């Protein structure tokens, strides 16, 4: 059914101005463009079918084995190939300057539903905001001021946990993802929890404005009671999420 729907969409694209940009100069060019589009469409269908089959196999294995665990992949809206996506969302938390509201970052669903409500900002309420990063170029590409998504994933392993200060898991553990340890700016009001932001984060579309609400910063190690070595004063900490 999925394949038929995608092919139908492809034909509709062809029928309604395949060559609007740029204009086709000949029948041959038109037919060549149609062929290219159809090849890409078939490849997309094939990849979707493979991914659907993999997810079905994982679900079947989970139902028979019984063991599984759930974790948040901060900064991505997809799970690993061998994990099942439960839902995608947006990282949310308190505005950096608030003294109250919740102290932890959470993964808000991307398709909310509601009980009873009154619209309008009320002074006597807790508040939650979207999340952006405030970070130098320690990631593989610039992520400064980008709004961050999240994904809740289910894995076949029975337990999942984050190891701060590591880029890889210890022997016997399976790596779910690796990244950088992130939290609030040290001099802002109120605490945040520490989360592991994926090393290759994705961005919420059109979310690059500098809103300065719930903000994530890299975490540095500070020598003193924390022994150096093995830690290094002022160095940004890595993290890894492992399952067992």
Written as tens digits, the pLDDT of the chain (244 aa) is 444 444 444 444 444 444 444 455 666 677 667 777 777 777 777 766 665 655 565 555 555 566 689 999 999 999 988 888 999 999 998 777 676 667 789 899 999 898 888 888 777 788 888 988 888 788 889 888 889 999 999 998 889 999 999 999 999 999 999 999 999 888 777 777 899 999 999 988 876 677 767 788 899 999 999 998 999 999 999 999 999 8
pLDDT score of 168: 94
pLDDT score of 14: 44
Residues 208, 147 contacting (CB under 8 angstroms): yes
DSSP code per residue over 118-143: --S--TTS---EEEEE---TTSSS--
Strand partners, 149: 90
Residue 143 CA to residue 113 CA, distance in Å, equals: 30
Residue 82 CA to residue 206 CA, distance in Å, equals: 30
Residues 210, 145 contacting (CB under 8 angstroms): yes
DSSP code per residue over 205-230: TT--S---SEEEEE-B--BTTB-TTT
* 151's tokens: 């994904």
Q: Tell me the pairing of strands 214-218 and 129-133.
A: parallel
Instruction: Give the three-class secondary structure for 177.
Output: strand
Between the two ends of the chain, the Cα-to-Cα distance in Å is 37
Q: Is 216 exposed, middle or buried (0-12, 13-18, 19+ CB in 10 A)?
A: buried
């Amino acid at each position: 059914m999925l394949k038929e729907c995608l092919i139908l969409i492809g034909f509709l694209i062809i029928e309604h101005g395949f060559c609007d940009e740029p204009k086709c100069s000949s029948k041959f060019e038109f037919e060549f463009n149609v062929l290219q589009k159809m090849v890409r469409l078939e490849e997309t269908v094939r990849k979707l079918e493979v991914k659907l089959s993999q997810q079905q196999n994982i679900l079947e294995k989970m139902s028979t084995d019984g063991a599984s665990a759930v974790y948040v992949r901060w900064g991505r809206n997809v799970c690993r190939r061998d994990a099942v996506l439960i839902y995608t969302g947006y990282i949310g938390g308190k505005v950096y300057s608030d003294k109250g509201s919740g102290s932890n970052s959470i993964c808000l669903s991307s398709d909310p539903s509601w009980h009873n409500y009154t619209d309008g900002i009320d002074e006597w309420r807790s508040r939650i905001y979207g999340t952006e990063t405030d970070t130098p170029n320690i990631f593989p590409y610039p992520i400064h001021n980008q709004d961050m998504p999240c994904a809740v994933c289910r894995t076949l392993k029975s337990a999942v946990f984050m190891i701060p200060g590591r880029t890889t898991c210890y022997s016997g553990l399976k790596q779910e993802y690796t990244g950088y340890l992130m939290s609030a700016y040290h001099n802002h009001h109120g605490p945040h929890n520490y989360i592991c932001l994926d090393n290759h984060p994705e961005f919420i579309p059109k979310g690059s404005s500098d809103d300065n609400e719930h903000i994530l910063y890299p975490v540095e190690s500070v020598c003193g009671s924390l022994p150096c070595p093995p830690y290094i004063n002022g160095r940004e900490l890595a993290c890894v999420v492992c399952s067992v």
